[in-house]
């Protein structure tokens, strides 16, 4: 079947609540039915956010389809050829297969075990490179089948800094990529909030590429839609992604994982050997939200207790919240908390507080959490002016701010001992909070 035949691109259609009908080729239909993609049907897009917004139970799988739809719209609108279009569609479908249980939060645990470079992007690359079924589909079958395997692998490889067709990678991973353009609208829809809404159609209508063909940019007449998108991303972080209840749930989940490190059988599942990735991947393919809970409860003891608290929504509460920049006038005290980022140091402080208050250490959690002001951070958004020169959006935007981030220091505990915990914190650190 020729790529000029419309039925090639519409071999199968799936109804999506955000984009309407999402059409797939025969190759893509096979991709979404691989075990790695089907596994994403069992992983929440927003982790434990359903404990704040009950309808936040949408999955990585549907987002992968949405990202592919947006990637294709970008590819068509900037004039990519049919082969390039096929490559970015496949890369978009596969861009999230490396995510672990509850999405981003599990990444912190894997990085503790395997190093900071062990991101979900790196895992995605390893999966696509090593899985025989995915490899077979991307290489194609038959005399006339087209091989897109190497190009997809290279786009998804985070270890390659420069790519021979950078515009293809820009569609998958950049400030204006198919991932963000889909998940902001999708998350807003499922949560029932309006913070992440923006004019996607205006962005797609005005999207183009720089004169050298290496970067995505927006025509000047679409600048306001780009500002709208930037504002939406900021508000979703402020109201959803950084919500304190979500942070509490994630901290409890990470603590359960941290306690489980004492169990060698459990840890063997998550140690990655570059020379033999098959062992890790054969375990990881079955790992989803329900399976990690089962494994942690199987260990029993404190890890099991923490997971059961999450299942019953018996969450720790905020005993103390310090807006470091605005509530601490003493420069030394401010620096002390800003610099308190080491996991072991935070754990020692929590243990010390627990000892003074007389509760089990796992029921006290300290967290240093920086919330970036997404509205003002350096994005790398580009606007194509009418005279054909490209300008950074930051030079054209009416928005400005001196505050680049807010840093909060949290101490979580059972509600019954919140006051005692706050006092113990002050006694230990010498930091007195007056409001």
Per-residue confidence (pLDDT) for residue 89, from 0 to 100: 98
CATH superfamily of 6-240: Hypothetical protein af1432 (1.10.3210.10)
Whole-number Cα distances in Å, 401 to 210, 226, 398: 28, 18, 10
**Beta strand extents in 224-361 (DSSP E only):** 317-323
Kindly report the CA angle at 125 between 119 and 127, in degrees rounded to 5? Answer: 105
Other beta carbons within 10 angstroms of residue 419's beta carbon come to: 13
pLDDT at res. 428: 93
CB-count burial class (<10 Å; 0-12, 13-18, 19+) for 311: exposed
Cα separation values, 231 from 188, 189, 198, Å? 13, 17, 9
Measured distance CA(215)–CA(63) in Å, rounded: 24
Residue whose structure tokens are 């250490």: 361
Predicted confidence at residue 374, as pLDDT, reads 61
Contact status, residue 225 vs residue 202, Cβ threshold 8 Å: yes
Q: Which residues, in sequence order, are CB contacts of 286 under 8 Å at separation 6+? A: 39
Task: Report the first-to-last Cα separation within the chain, whole angstroms.
Answer: 70
pLDDT in tens, the chain (435 residues): 778 888 999 999 999 999 999 999 999 999 999 999 999 999 999 999 999 999 999 999 999 999 999 999 999 999 999 999 999 999 999 999 999 999 999 999 999 999 999 999 999 999 999 999 999 999 987 545 689 999 999 999 998 877 888 999 999 999 999 999 999 999 999 999 999 999 999 999 999 999 888 999 999 999 999 999 999 998 999 899 999 999 999 999 999 999 999 999 999 999 999 999 999 999 999 999 999 999 999 998 999 999 999 999 999 999 999 988 888 888 888 899 989 988 899 999 999 999 999 999 889 999 998 876 665 555 577 787 766 778 777 776 666 444 566 788 999 999 999 999 999 999 999 888 765
Q: How far apart are CA 127 and CA 197, in angstroms?
A: 33
Chain CA centroid to CA 425, Å: 32
Contacting residues for 264 by C-beta, under 8 A, at least 6 apart: none
Q: What pLDDT does residue 325 have?
A: 81
- Domain-by-domain residue ranges, the chain? 6-240
Q: Quick check: pTM over 0.85?
A: yes
Q: Which residues contact 54 (CB under 8 A, 6 or more apart)?
A: none
CB within 8 Å of 121: residues ≥ 6 apart: 98, 156, 158, 173
What lies within 8 Å, CB to CB, of 393 at 6+ separation is: 223, 226, 227, 230, 379, 381, 382, 383
Of 362, 364, 396, the closest CA to residue 379 belongs to 396
């Amino acid at each position: 079947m020729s790529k000029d035949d419309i039925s090639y691109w519409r071999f199968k259609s799936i109804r999506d609540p955000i984009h309407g009908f999402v059409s797939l080729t025969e190759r893509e239909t096979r991709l979404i039915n691989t075990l790695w993609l089907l596994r994403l049907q069992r992983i929440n897009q927003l982790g434990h956010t359903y404990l704040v917004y009950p309808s936040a139970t949408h999955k990585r799988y549907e987002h992968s389809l949405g990202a592919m739809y947006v990637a294709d719209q970008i590819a068509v609108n900037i004039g990519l050829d049919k082969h390039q279009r096929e490559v970015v569609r496949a890369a978009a479908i596969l861009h999230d297969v490396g995510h672990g249980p509850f999405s981003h939060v599990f990444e912190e645990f894997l990085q503790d075990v395997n190093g900071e470079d062990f991101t979900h992007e790196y895992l995605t690359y390893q999966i696509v490179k090593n899985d025989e079924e995915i490899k077979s589909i991307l290489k194609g079958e038959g005399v006339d089948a087209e091989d897109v395997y190497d190009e997809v692998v290279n786009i998804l490889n985070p270890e390659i800094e420069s790519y021979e067709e950078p515009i293809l990678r820009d569609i998958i991973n950049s400030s204006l990529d198919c991932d963000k353009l889909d998940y902001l609208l999708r998350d807003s829809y499922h949560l029932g909030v309006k913070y992440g809404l923006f004019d996607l159609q205006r962005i797609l209508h005005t999207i183009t590429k720089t004169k050298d063909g290496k970067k995505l940019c927006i025509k000047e007449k679409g600048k306001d839609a780009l500002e709208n998108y930037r504002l939406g991303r900021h508000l979703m972080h402020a109201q959803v992604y950084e919500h304190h209840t979500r942070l509490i749930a994630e901290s409890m989940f990470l603590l359960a994982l941290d306690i489980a490190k004492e169990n060698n059988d459990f840890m063997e599942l998550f140690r990655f050997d570059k020379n033999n990735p098959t062992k890790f991947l054969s375990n990881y393919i079955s790992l989803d939200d329900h399976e990690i809970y089962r494994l942690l409860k199987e260990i029993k003891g404190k890890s099991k207790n923490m997971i059961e608290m999450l299942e019953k929504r018996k969450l720790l509460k905020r005993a103390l919240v310090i807006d470091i920049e605005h509530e601490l006038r003493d420069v030394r005290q401010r620096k002390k908390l800003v610099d308190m980022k080491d996991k072991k140091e935070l754990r020692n402080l929590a243990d010390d507080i627990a000892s003074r208050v007389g509760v089990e250490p796992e029921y006290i959690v300290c967290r240093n959490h920086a919330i970036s002001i997404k509205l003002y951070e350096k994005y790398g958004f580009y606007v194509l002016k009418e005279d054909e020169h490209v300008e950074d959006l930051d030079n054209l935007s009416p928005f400005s701010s001196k505050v680049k981030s807010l840093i909060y220091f949290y101490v979580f505990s059972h509600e019954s001992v919140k006051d005692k915990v706050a006092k113990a914190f002050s006694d230990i650190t010498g930091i007195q909070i007056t409001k």
